[in-house]
A and B are shown apart, each in its own frame.
Chain A
């Protein structure tokens, strides 16, 4: 009898705790820290440095959200997740948002009950070949041996691409990126295929990166973006518009260097004023103060600055903007207006 009462009390406590977890924004404010899920390590996107401070492109998004919500870009508890644990960590409430180069797909958005708040990197599957092979297009790869990670969507994309173009290939199955790197360098395959950003960072680690080229064809769509749980739209809005603010800031020319000056008083551009809170009440509409976007931009810079610093052409990874350029520069980054 006593045991049943105890178990019953436990259940009620569990349910009550479940109901109390609805307001993520309040939870985060009460905690004073944003729990942000990141990868256990991906070059340029998220990795701790020699002092244990997390750095990277995805990390920048976490810091921007923390700065917008809590006013402190360092008030982030980075929770490392693997490809296998990331979704349960988010669904169980262990983390408030996940910024872990996760591809936005139909089933993840609907069946797994998450909301993707946008895209911070448009990736796609590409091919890398040694320059000595003399191949300039993926269409020339007929009969090639291809190093491919087993059990991934890249394997299916590869099969589709070769079938569509009436070409033959011989797969060399590999397990991890490290293994792929070794096999490719040892000449076990003519070409290595995975996401283009992964190819670039793999190539950056080679002894002679210039002897290898990444072919121009991209054979799949991999929009990577941060995501939050279903059911808390206010929190989703904050994450979505923080990301949008970073992208819009680049378009409007707001940088970490001039954000303080532009935000000090209303200037000539109404949209800049609205973003930086010197005009209108956008911050109030999402439950934050007027300077939220200003702090988010000051945290690590606008989208372009984050890109240049972590994965851009001046870094060892050396990714070109490509699709990830602003729509005004021929890319597909296009934020809805701040109005």
Chain B
């Protein structure tokens, strides 16, 4: 008889089948993240509606945008009642937004080149492990090259400035064995003397490799914001470190100078300092003296941000356990050595987020200079462009452009700082 098999035992494996539709891929993701509960589903629906509304109302504004038109009125005629942005203002005035309205247009390549070189100069500083250390030589030369490119004038000015710095550094290395403190002062004086003397000697070099000189007053646009941001941040970090160390010093005079400076600057709004730079200084200086306005503003903003950075770094110093200081002392290191080798590397690492925070804030604060009649990007928009009879009334397009520029820069800085924090992470979390 036939033997019926009653046991239900498979002889072979079933092929793997796909998981149910509801618990895989996009559906699962949707269920888990967007529709996990009634409240969540409601929020999702509402959000989608809001996003849809925004996109559908903004999209025509972008897609109907007019890029070629001589004035706002002409723009409106082209649009003929449709919604649409008048981006023609950007295509006509982009150079004024970036460089200001007086920088000669045939020389735009100079600040442009300085901007590109900035990345090459910053690369070994920012990504020390990726780029060869020899590139740091270029970084050291960069400030002088950039000055020459942007302001122009004979090449002897930045060359003598550089030689002065080198001379000071040379004196420092000769003196540092006797006393570090005296070496700093003497080398500073040496550099100063060198610059003053070279001022008398530079006459014959005036026409050698002279670029057309551009006065500070002719600069403007986003270039000013970038210049102020880069210069002031790079000056205020070392100043801030000195101030933070000075505030912790056991020498009362240095300590109190630093405390008074920091507390005074932090107690005064930046806009007040800018007014002092622009307006009040003009009363103190003898009439006819032309103390460069950009220089005045750089000094004020640097003072302002160095006080904030000093406090950030002081936080980093305070966060180090007492044992680290004692470890330095027990190894027989002097103050300068223990700071350089033990304390500051750790304290600065802790301070990175704070320093970046100050840097981003400072960069955005550079738009305040528009209040003292400097034509940075906001000054250009609010002043010359909006008050030309062609473009009076264009707001969204212009300020949107400024937003894009600032967002790119600030988001870049913030991403870099997060990367740097991960790179420097030495603890096991």
Contact = CB atoms under 8 A, between A and B. Distances in A.
B289 A17 contact: yes
B383 interface: yes
A88 interface: yes
B295 to A, nearest CB: 15
A205 B282 contact: no
Contacts of A40: 373, 375, 379, 382-384, 387
A17 B287 contact: yes
Interface string A196-209: 00000100111100
Given A205-B72, A317-B389, A18 B286 contact: yes
Nearest to A21: B287
A122 B235 CA distance: 50
A80 interface: yes
Interface string B215-242: 0010000000000000000000000000
B355 to A, nearest CB: 32
B288 A17 contact: yes
B388 interface: yes
A18 B287 contact: yes
B28 interface: no
Interface in B64-87: 72-73, 76
Residue from B76, B384, B395 whose CB has the most chain A CB atoms within 10 Å: B384
A28 interface: no
Interface in A284-334: 315-317
B contacts with A: majority SS? helix
Interface in B278-312: 278-279, 282-283, 285-289
Nearest to A80: B373
Interface string A1-40: 0000000000001100110110000000000000000011
B31 interface: no
Contact of B279 (A20, A48, A85, A204): A85
A28 B168 CA distance: 42
A50 interface: yes
B167 interface: no
B50 interface: no
Contacts of B92: 50
B287 A85 contact: no
A316 B390 CA distance: 9
A205 B72 CA distance: 8
Interface in A42-60: 42-44, 46-50, 52
A94 B283 CA distance: 10
Given A43-B387, A48-B384, A94-B282, A201 B371 contact: no
Residue from B93, B282, B375, B395 whose CB has the most chain A CB atoms within 10 Å: B282
B282 A47 contact: no
Contacts of A41: 382-388
A89 interface: yes
Contacts of B383: 39-41, 47, 80
Contact of B387 (A42, A92, A94): A42
Given A47-B387, A85-B279, A89-B282, A205 B287 contact: no
Contacts, number: 98
A339 interface: no
A231 interface: no
A85 B66 CA distance: 37
Contacts of A206: 393
A14 B282 CA distance: 12
Contacts of A136: none
Nearest to A92: B282
Contact of A50 (B96, B102, B279, B387): B96
A178 interface: yes
Contacts of B285: 14
Contacts of A20: 288
Residue from B283, B371, B373, B384 whose CB has the most chain A CB atoms within 10 Å: B373
Interface string A88-101: 11011110000000
A205 B385 CA distance: 13
A82 interface: yes
A42 B386 CA distance: 8
B101 interface: yes
Contacts of B371: 82, 84
B171 interface: no
B403 to A, nearest CB: 16
B258 to A, nearest CB: 23
Contacts of B73: 316
Interface in B357-387: 371-373, 375, 379, 382-387
A47 B287 contact: no
B392 interface: yes
A74 interface: no
16 contacts: A13-B286, A18-B286, A18-B287, A40-B375, A41-B383, A43-B388, A47-B387, A48-B101, A48-B388, A84-B372, A88-B282, A88-B283, A89-B282, A91-B283, A92-B287, A178-B382
Interface of B: 72-73, 76, 92-93, 96, 101-102, 217, 275, 278-279, 282-283, 285-289, 371-373, 375, 379, 382-389, 392-393, 395
Given A40-B375, A40-B382, A41-B384, 11 more contacts: A14-B285, A39-B383, A40-B384, A41-B388, A46-B387, A47-B384, A48-B384, A48-B388, A50-B92, A178-B386, A315-B389
Interface of A: 13-14, 17-18, 20-21, 39-44, 46-50, 52, 79-82, 84-85, 88-89, 91-94, 178, 181-182, 201, 204-207, 315-317
